[in-house]
Amino acid sequence: MIKEFLMIPGPTPVPDSVLRKMAMPMINHRGKEFAQVLKNVTEKMKKVYLTESDVILLTASGSGGMESAVVNFLSPGDKAIFCVTGAFGDRWAKMGQVYGADVIRIDIPLGEGVTIDVLEDTLKKNPGVKAVYITHNETSTAITNDLSKVGEIAHRYGAIVAVDAVSSLGAIELRMDEWQLDVVVTASQKALMTPPGLAFVAVSERAWELYKSSKMPRFYFDLGEAKRMAVNGETPFTPAVSQVFAIDSALDILLSEGLENSWKRHKLLGKAVREGVKALGLKLLAKEEFASNAVTGVYPPEGILADELRRKVKERGVTLAGGQGALKGKIFRIGHIGYILDTDIIVTLSIIGETLKEMGYNVDPTLGVKRALEVFNEGTNS
């Protein structure tokens, strides 16, 4: 007998009550009942985005939403800045290339984030940039980029800002309207505690202006068509009905916890994991000032292979993620996003400690749990 702990940065564990919605019988996706659910989900998503802008639902992974943020706002030859802080930023830049944008990359060392100075410098050197693409939380390197000033700077240089908030929205502070963000992409399977299959794209008025002149080809990911259909509570194509039911219920859980409380919880989870891992003597991938509160990247001790550690930890019920891209096999990642509580962190750190010891690493395996508990107790009392 084993209990499973899914500690990866997505798909994340789904609460039982939400899973049960996944099993609801099918209905007509062009009928009144579905229209009402779609409307409810859209209204709740606006509260999570902290926006008055349109929120478009797509039946796709988060990467489909990212592609829509390229093809709906640019034309071939348009200059666009892509901030690359890891595999997902790199993916977005490649999408820009494939569709013929004039891609200006800002490549950041792994484990660090984009500073506002670097961004402004790049905008200054490249007049006429139409859009800045930036990852909010880069799961591959376990860092978070501060977005609070990005909108203001980009607008000053006449560019819109598109944000990959796939692994952040709902977990890490993001204020779309206040921060003047124009296109914000997210997906169902991270902080929103719903199985994968849905992407969401929130679009500002400034971005819709750019949409009018955009000439990249698009059909399935045409956001304007989706906006037109949404007026009548429909989607252009058959939606993933089950996930729409499920997220309607998952968003109730998130909003009843409260968005700011969820941000606080993730802040504490992130700190507890980082401190716990360090107490076990392990090195973090991300620089502290950029460290993500949704996922933590960790180097295994010398002489222990990351993927071997993951395999052994998995046998005890805890699933960790591996490294991506250049970091494949070099690190392991602990996801702590969505339906994750202090108890999950305690189990995870305990099993990592025990397994490391078993693999010959000389450490008191309880140090991680001990330190995490201190962090949780301080957090609860503060």
Assess 23 for contact with a copy of itself (CB under 8 A): yes
Positive or negative, the CA dihedral 308, 311, 317, 322 is: positive
Q: Which is nearer to a copy of itself, 125 or 219 (CB)?
A: 219
Q: Which is nearer to a copy of itself, 94 or 316 (CB)?
A: 94
Q: Which is nearer to a copy of itself, 24 or 118 (CB)?
A: 24
Assess 31 for contact with a copy of itself (CB under 8 A): yes
CB 295, CB 191: distance < 8 Å: no
Positive or negative, the CA dihedral 360, 366, 370, 373 is: positive
The region of 16-24, 38-46, 141-149, 288-296 touching a copy of itself under the rule CB under 8 A is 16-24
Assess 236 for contact with a copy of itself (CB under 8 A): yes
The neighbouring-strand residues paired with 295 are 335
The region of 11-19, 118-126, 130-138, 144-152 touching a copy of itself under the rule CB under 8 A is 11-19
Assess 217 for contact with a copy of itself (CB under 8 A): yes
Assess 195 for contact with a copy of itself (CB under 8 A): yes
Q: Alpha-carbon distance 280 to 267, whole Å?
A: 20
Q: Which is nearer to a copy of itself, 14 or 345 (CB)?
A: 14
Residues 6+ away with beta carbon under 8 Å from 6: 12, 13, 319, 335
Residues 268-297 that bind a copy of itself (CB under 8 A): none
Residues 339-368 that bind a copy of itself (CB under 8 A): none
CB 254, CB 170: distance < 8 Å: yes
| φ, ψ of residue 220 in degrees (nearest 5) | -60, -35
Sequence letter at residue 193: M
Residues 105-124 that bind a copy of itself (CB under 8 A): none
Q: Alpha-carbon distance 165 to 134, whole Å?
A: 9
Assess 249 for contact with a copy of itself (CB under 8 A): no
To a copy of itself, the closest distance from the beta carbon of 8 in angstroms equals 5
Q: Alpha-carbon distance 255 to 191, whole Å?
A: 12
Q: Which is nearer to a copy of itself, 243 or 348 (CB)?
A: 243
Structure-token pair, residue 50? 């902290």
> Out of 237, 305, 325, 378, which residue is the one contacting a copy of itself (CB under 8 A)?
237
Closest by alpha carbon to 272, among 341, 322, 319?
A: 341
To a copy of itself, the closest distance from the beta carbon of 65 in angstroms equals 9
Give the helix/strand (H/E) hosting 150: helix 150-156
Assess 133 for contact with a copy of itself (CB under 8 A): no
> Out of 86, 239, 297, 300, which residue is the one contacting a copy of itself (CB under 8 A)?
239
- 270-285 residues labelled b (16+ CB within 10 A) or e (exposed): bbbbbebbbbbebebb
Q: Alpha-carbon distance 88 to 137, whole Å?
A: 9
Q: Which is nearer to a copy of itself, 158 or 329 (CB)?
A: 329
H helices of 101-149, in order, are 116-125
Assess 80 for contact with a copy of itself (CB under 8 A): no
The region of 20-28, 107-115, 355-363, 367-375 touching a copy of itself under the rule CB under 8 A is 20-28
Closest by alpha carbon to 224, among 323, 42, 213?
A: 213
Q: Which is nearer to a copy of itself, 194 or 355 (CB)?
A: 194
Binding footprint of a copy of itself on the chain (CB under 8 A):
4, 6, 8, 10-14, 19-20, 22-31, 59-64, 67, 94-95, 98-100, 187, 189, 195-197, 216-221, 236-243, 314, 319, 321-322
